[in-house]
Amino acid sequence: MRVQLNSRLGKLATVAGLCLVLAGMFTAVSYSVTLYRLFCQVTGAGGYTARAAADTATQSHRVVTVAFSTNVAPGMPWHFEPVQSSVQVHLGQEALVFFRAENLSDKPIVGHATFNVTPDRVGPYFKKIQCFCFTEERLGAHQSVEMPVDFFVDPRLAKDRNAEDVDHIELSYTFFPSRDPQGAADLARFDGVKPSAAAGEKLFATVCGACHALDRSKVGPPLDGVVGRAAGSVNGYPYSAALAHAHIVWSAATLDKWLANPRGFIPGATMPLSVPDEVRRRDIIAYLASLKGHG
């Protein structure tokens, strides 16, 4: 009798063990996609970018081009595009870029953005400080907003032998309808935000820094103290005749017109680049206005 009881208990234990194994396998399969996604987000594998609280890296001389691409899921009535097609940044340099989203429908929609970078091996080194992709995002009916992404590329990329040939990175986003719309953040928080000198400083580095410095002439004249200064008045800089005889003083209003369309604002001017995006212009101007003019 005791032998039979032990045999039955043994069989029950075996069946229970098999059930536990099967339950574990089922759970692993059910959550494998989620677990893999979490693994990628933490490690940067598969082209997933990493998150950082701040840019504490030392900027290097190596420059990479970061390009941007956007998509929306089929049937999602949003228009979604990068404000700038690409930027050039030094490794370790914090950069601020913008993406524009517009809800084309008659009702609010909550979306979630997936993201990745290519080449995949760059993922662990692409650090995002601020991004709309961190949360579920609600966009009101027919509302349009510009959303910032604050990032840097870790200088340790230069020490990775597998990334020695990388000089071009593409950051891609796709917006999908949210599966968890409850408690979504409202993209209206980006609409009508006051100009930010801190944001302008980052934008100046990526948008203007190739041609302008604060304390010395480069391709363009030094810009420390430009707000309140007469156009074409820096001693020793070879201004165009149009700018030297423009008879204007740089203010928030005149700088906005200049950055929006230099040659349209001052015919005959030679500045080849413009900043057509209003949000970026106002932040850059806020930064220039914050400078003390001491060089």
Residues 121 and 166 in one domain: yes
Q: Are residues 81 and 141 in the same domain?
A: yes
Q: Is there a single domain that holds both residue 82 and residue 181?
A: yes
User: Is position 261 within any domain?
Assistant: yes
- Taking only the tens place, the pLDDT of each residue in 9-26 is 555 556 555 555 555 554
Same structural domain, 103 and 179: yes
Residues 147 and 103 both lie in one domain: yes
* Residue pLDDT, tens place only, 164-204: 899 999 999 999 999 999 999 999 999 878 899 999 999 99
Domain membership of residue 125 as a residue range? 50-190
In a domain, 295, yes or no: no
Number of domains the chain is built from: 3
Q: What Å distances lie between residue 64 and 52, 81, 130, 151, 165, CA to CA?
A: 19, 21, 20, 13, 10
Give the model confidence (pLDDT) of 250-259 as tens digits. 999 999 999 9
Same-domain check for residues 152 and 222? no
Domain of residue 285, CATH code: 1.10.760.10
